[in-house]
Structure 1
Amino acid sequence: MIPRTVFNEEHEQFRDTVRKFLEKEALPFHAQWEKDGQVDRGLWKKAGEIGFLCPQVPEEYGGLNLDFGYNAVIDEEISRFNLTGIGWGLHSDIAVPYIINYGSEAQKRKYLPQCISGDMVTAIAMTEPGAGSDLQGVRTTAIKNGDHYVLNGSKTFITNGQHANLVIVVAKTNPGEGASGVSLLLVEADSPGFKKGTNLEKVGMKAQDTSELFFDDVKVPAENLLGAEGQGFIYLMQELPQERLSVAIGATANAEAALSWTVDYVRERKAFGKPVSAFQNTQFKLAELAAELAAMRVFVDRCLELHYAHKLDVATAAKAKLLATDFQCKLLDECVQLHGGYGYMWEYPIARAWADARVQRIYAGTNEIMKLIISRELLQ
């Protein structure tokens, strides 16, 4: 096995703490949360008390000012346990960084301490019924009217949609423009005219609250504009590499866990009087998956190292997301096959992981969009 060098001793000590917390506070309850359609809101508060939420926030706003490796450790441990209902990654890795990087001093002081404590859950509302990966095509509008914006439109497939107290909404402040007309607004969930739809019923990730959001003449104070007007598309493009890296990190860790479950299963399961692991087909399949997984692990770790140094470019992040999620789905499908009929039973972790993983190739930009990004760099 190739030793990992991307984490230091402090990271690994932190990993042990995260793992013990998840084993006690999440793993025993996740099956019930799948039935409920969302995790217990109290989990967020418990995580905040220990410092698991937004560890990268600067100390002046109540954070720990840690490197992204701590976020990665949390992502890995959640993925290893296949606790896909927990939306901390969306909160800490994706939404809150927009406030850190583009928020005003007043916005940071108002929102960041609550994001760290778990009193406030965030979401980012990009996708619309008619616009997914094409962010320039959003139809939600935010028209300036004196000291506020009037927000109208709808969003769908929004992670943390039910729990969210604060939503970063992607909207057109200048509907006549394309990318240059896009802005980001911080919208509080109790704003009049802001309604949450029902919790969407999905194929997988059943414990993850995913919602439609509706905005009907919502008055958003002008001071809740995030960054500069008309710069939203640029901000999105700058932050998406970290989002895609997070997806790749989770995909790789989940694949490692699934391979481990499968190795244990084929050793114990007998067919034709001997363990399934004794068959050459099983051995060859596992060998192929293990070899590809080792290569994936090295590449994703290198991407994380580049991100530490602020050198992870858009195309490389797209490659990581594309390769890791494609491989995760391939590995899980092979592992389900090696489990036989039991691999299709919801009580087995491999079945849950297989169902949960399919969306990895869709969100954070579809894998087809990743190919476009990569090809543009090649052909420019």
Structure 2
Amino acid sequence: MTEAELQAAVRAFVRDEVAPAAAAWSMGAAPDPALLGRAGALGLMRIQVPAEAGGLGLGFAAKARAAETLARADFGFAMSVVNTQNVALRLVASAERRVWEPLLPDLLSGRSSACTALTEPGAGSDFASISTTARRDGEGWRLDGEKCWVINARHAAFAIVYAQCGEPGDRDGIGAFLVPLDRPGCSRYPLDAPFAQTSMGTGGFRLEGVRIPADHVVFAPGQAFGAILDEINGARAYVAAMCCGMLGAAIEAAGDYGESRRSFGRALAGHQAWRLALARAGVALAAARAITAEAVAAVDRGAPAQLAAAQAKIAAVDTCRRQLPELLHLMGAEGLRPQHPFSRHLAAAEIATLTDGSTEMLLERVHRLMRRAPAP
């Protein structure tokens, strides 16, 4: 499958299946599990997975574009799909073949999902402070601790769990482990909020003496910290792309409504103030897309992307948070109906602010990196 074929299939999938279902998700309904299977059949779980492992072998930019299209309908579902794809890619790249080979067919087809578990009740952006532990237990490992706010945790078959193998606060002591979530000692729970979390599958799990074999190590202690920071740079870039997708969909929805809804004897689009507000949103989106494209390109070619990814996420998230309320007001009360994307995209923009590093933390990082950068 070429990337052009993939993107065309994703657009049709979003139009015909994801968007019609997303209205119910925003009201707390759970996605039909079969929908993940249809996403898998399209290739959405194997975009970056090497062809020799059953994947499409495409680049990061292809994943970011697909995620942007999915997010036009629902940010949560897009995050769910992308996170399963990320785990598949990580296992092929870093785990032992005899471990991932039997798992991959169900993962790539969407018959099962997976998650990456970083956040804990007492550790979010300060990743080095995680308290979940992994200790040698005979020939294997024993894991104890709790992970929360994990995408796909409600339904994932397994997780890549980051745990401290050394002393608290030791970055070099952190390792990563493949943990089947049906193991004795593992108990999971959903996490809900006034912003619906169902399509993202947000939840947590507790590990109490969970034992795994030695070959389930994905990153040995000392390797995990740097690897996850690189992955987070990529995540910030595709989250920025997803925010651009949400805003683009909202602009289109408002524009279409403005052509048909009449007010004071003419279409809304006939009022200059209405048109200017829509145009302002379009200009802001163009700027966010430009900076996001730079970050996606840097990640795609393997260039240093820490600064570009942080800037892109800040710009795209902030643009969404400013412009989506304005677009909702262009719609009036009609924009509150769940069949329109405004309410769920507003909620998603707030969630995106906290995902993969808060805006405040990223601003501190941008300042530090800009001070180090050479003058042009």
TM-score by length of 2: 0.91
Q: Deviations over 1:12-66 (max 9, x none)?
A: 3322211223333333333344556432222222222332212211122221212
Q: Please name the residue that 2:316 is paired with.
A: 324
SS of equivalent residue, structure 2 residue 103: helix
CA RMSD of aligned residues (A): 2.1
Q: CA deviation at 1:237?
A: 0.9
Q: Deviations over 1:179-238 (max 9, x none)?
A: 112111110011111111135244144432111211111112221111222322111112
CA contact (8 A) 2:46 2:54 kept: no
Name the amino acid aligned to 1:101: A
Give the gaps of 5 or more residues in structure 1: 1-8
Name the amino acid aligned to 1:248: A
Q: CA deviation at 1:242?
A: 0.9
Pick one of 229, 248, 253 that aligns with 1:237.
229
Q: CA deviation at 1:366?
A: 0.9
* 1:89 aligns to 2:82 (yes or no): yes
Residues 14, 174 of structure 1: CA spacing in aligned structure 2 closer, same or farther, 3 A cutoff?
Answer: same
CA contact (8 A) 1:141 1:175 kept: no
Count the aligned residue pairs.
Answer: 371
Q: Please name the residue that 2:246 is paired with.
A: 254
Could you tell me how far apart the structure 2 residues matched to 1:347 and 1:22 are? 14
Q: CA deviation at 1:73?
A: 3.0
Q: CA deviation at 1:164?
A: 0.4
Name the amino acid aligned to 2:117: A
Could you tell me how far apart the structure 2 residues matched to 1:235 and 1:58 are? 19
Could you tell me how far apart the structure 1 residues matched to 2:280 and 2:25 are? 35
Residues 30, 292 of structure 1: CA spacing in aligned structure 2 closer, same or farther, 3 A cutoff?
Answer: closer
Q: Please name the residue that 1:30 is paired with.
A: 22
Q: CA deviation at 1:171?
A: 1.0
Q: Percent identity?
A: 27
Q: CA deviation at 1:283?
A: 2.3
* 1:368 aligns to 2:332 (yes or no): no
Residues 238, 100 of structure 1: CA spacing in aligned structure 2 closer, same or farther, 3 A cutoff?
Answer: farther
Map 1:100-115 to 2 at 5 A.
100-115=92-107
Q: Please name the residue that 1:55 is paired with.
A: 47
Pick one of 214, 217, 229 that aligns with 1:222.
214
Name the amino acid aligned to 1:88: V
**Residues 129-138 or 353-362, more deviating:** 353-362
Residues 100, 314 of structure 1: CA spacing in aligned structure 2 closer, same or farther, 3 A cutoff?
Answer: farther
Could you tell me how far apart the structure 2 residues matched to 1:115 and 1:287 are? 42
Could you tell me how far apart the structure 2 residues matched to 1:205 and 1:25 are? 19
Name the amino acid aligned to 2:110: G
**Residues 364-373 or 347-356, more deviating:** 347-356
Q: Please name the residue that 1:302 is paired with.
A: 294
Residues 331, 10 of structure 1: CA spacing in aligned structure 2 closer, same or farther, 3 A cutoff?
Answer: farther
Pick one of 113, 117, 129 that aligns with 1:121.
113
Give the gaps of 5 or more residues in structure 2: none
Could you tell me how far apart the structure 2 residues matched to 1:244 and 1:314 are? 9
SS of equivalent residue, structure 1 residue 187: strand
Pick one of 144, 157, 164 that aligns with 1:152.
144
Q: Please name the residue that 1:268 is paired with.
A: 260
Could you tell me how far apart the structure 2 residues matched to 1:368 and 1:180 are? 26
Q: Deviations over 1:256-301 (max 9, x none)?
A: 1111111122232233333332333222222222112112222222
TM-score by length of 1: 0.90
Could you tell me how far apart the structure 1 residues matched to 2:96 and 2:358 are? 31
Could you tell me how far apart the structure 1 residues matched to 2:17 and 2:335 are? 26
Q: Please name the residue that 2:330 is paired with.
A: 338
Could you tell me how far apart the structure 2 residues matched to 1:122 and 1:134 are? 23
CA contact (8 A) 2:67 2:82 kept: yes
Q: CA deviation at 1:174?
A: 0.9
Residues 26, 359 of structure 1: CA spacing in aligned structure 2 closer, same or farther, 3 A cutoff?
Answer: same
Q: Please name the residue that 1:3 is paired with.
A: none
Q: CA deviation at 1:10?
A: 4.3
Could you tell me how far apart the structure 2 residues matched to 1:119 and 1:111 are? 10
CA contact (8 A) 2:135 2:143 kept: yes
CA contact (8 A) 1:262 1:335 kept: yes
CA contact (8 A) 2:18 2:74 kept: no
CA contact (8 A) 1:95 1:122 kept: yes
Q: Deviations over 1:56-113 (max 9, x none)?
A: 1112222121222331232122112236335111222x43333233223333424333
CA contact (8 A) 2:68 2:238 kept: no
